[in-house]
Structure 1
Amino acid sequence: MTTPLTTHRNLVTLVQVLRKLERSRVPVDPEQYRTLVSHIEAELRSYPQDAGLDALLAAMPELAELYENLNYAHAGLCRSPLDAAIHAEQAARDAIASAMGKPARPAAQS
């Protein structure tokens, strides 16, 4: 029987394992990583959209990133600060322009 408490524990445990894999100095098998992320995504899909989820997302950046990726088509970067998202987009555009041999756009005046 699955209860909200077991779902919460499962999600927290899976994210803790993900955190260990991401910080590991030993190379991780890509399939192992994908499988773990798939399990986390499945738990996220079944998790109630409530204050408990908001608390978990605030406490676990890895989980917040996966949550954003799952919901990107509907909500974009809904949990990322707007300034950080804008700077990341500009940096990506500059990197692409540089790779194409074009000059980067001048920075916007504030």
Structure 2
Amino acid sequence: MNTPLTTHRNLVTLVQVLRKLERSRVPVDPEQYRSLVTHIADELRNHPRDAGLEALLTAVPELAELYENLQYEHAGLCRSPLDAAVGAEQAARDAIAAAMRR
């Protein structure tokens, strides 16, 4: 049975593993990393949009970034400050324009 509390615990556990992998000094197998991110994405899709999720997203930048990437099609950079998002978009446009001139 998958309750909101179970989903929340699953997500917290997966995020803890993600943090360990990202901070590891030992090279991580790309397939292992990809599999973990897929599991986290699945949990995020099933997680209720509630205060618990918001607290997790605020506390864990890695999770917030993943969440934002999953929501990008519908909400853009929904968790990034607007100034940073606009700056990133402009930098991307500038880099594309420079690459096209070459």
TM-score by length of 1: 0.83
Whole-Å Cα distance in 2 between the matches of residues 37 and 80 of structure 1? 20
Q: 1:89 and 2:89 equivalent?
A: yes
Question: Which ranges of structure 1 fall in alignment gaps of 5 or more residues?
Answer: 103-110
Query: In the TM superposition, what is the alpha-carbon distance from 1:29 to its structure 2 partner?
Result: 0.8
Whole-Å Cα distance in 2 between the matches of residues 73 and 92 of structure 1? 17
Deviating above 6 A after TM superposition, structure 1's stretches of 4 or more consecutive aligned residues are none
Q: Percent identity?
A: 82
Aligned pairs, how many?
102
Question: Which ranges of structure 2 fall in alignment gaps of 5 or more residues?
Answer: none
Q: 1:62 and 2:83 equivalent?
A: no
| Map 1:38-57 → 2, pairs under 5 A | 38-57=38-57
Higher-Rg structure is: 1
Which secondary structure state, in structure 2, belongs to the residue aligned with residue 25 of structure 1? coil
Q: Deviations over 1:29-57 (max 9, x none)?
A: 11101100010011111100111111111
Whole-Å Cα distance in 2 between the matches of residues 87 and 45 of structure 1? 28
**Greater helix share, 1 or 2?**
2
TM-score by length of 2: 0.89
- RMSD, matched Cα: 1.5
